[in-house]
Amino acid sequence: GQQLNQSPQSMFIQEGEDVSMNCTSSSIFNTWLWYKQDPGEGPVLLIALYKAGELTSNGRLTAQFGITRKDSFLNISASIPSDVGIYFCAGWDYGGSQGNLIFGKGTKLSVKP
């Protein structure tokens, strides 16, 4: 099936640093989304992107839907300890099978105070 390549797999950063992670695919997606999973909990939606080229912010988070529709990135500015968790990108595939949301394997973020 389709796959999303998410990188990096893990990041260890100092509090206050900016973070950048991205997701690429060999296929086109109509929607890109970013989720965060805190330890012991289910993923929570951070940002949803619906148009190629779209740039959306949510507080310190900024995400973009790549113009080719095959990639997306997420930036976190001025990281804080509560940013720790696993970040997943996801792409929604309308073609072929209906209702198929493909997830990347996640970026594990650790923030050192």
Partner 1 sequence: EAQVTQNPRYLITVTGKKLTVTCSQNMNHEYMSWYRQDPGLGLRQIYYSMNVEVTDKGDVPEGYKVSRKEKRNFPLILESPSPNQTSLYFCASSLLSRTGELFFGEGSRLTVL
Least distance (Å) from partner 1 to the CB of residue 69?
14
Q: Give the whole-angstrom CA distance, residue 24 versus residue 1.
A: 15
Least distance (Å) from partner 1 to the CB of residue 90?
7
Least distance (Å) from partner 1 to the CB of residue 48?
5
Interacting residue with partner 1 among 21, 23, 33, 111 (CB under 8 A): 33
Residue 54 interacts with partner 1 (CB under 8 A): yes or no: no
Three-state SS string over 4-58 comes to EEEECCEEEEECCCCEEEEEEECCCCCEEEEEEECCCCCCEEEEEECCCCCEEEE
Decide if 2 contacts 27 (C-beta within 8 A). Answer: yes
In the complex, the residues that contact partner 1 under the rule CB under 8 A are: 1, 31, 33, 35, 40-45, 48, 88, 90, 92, 97-106
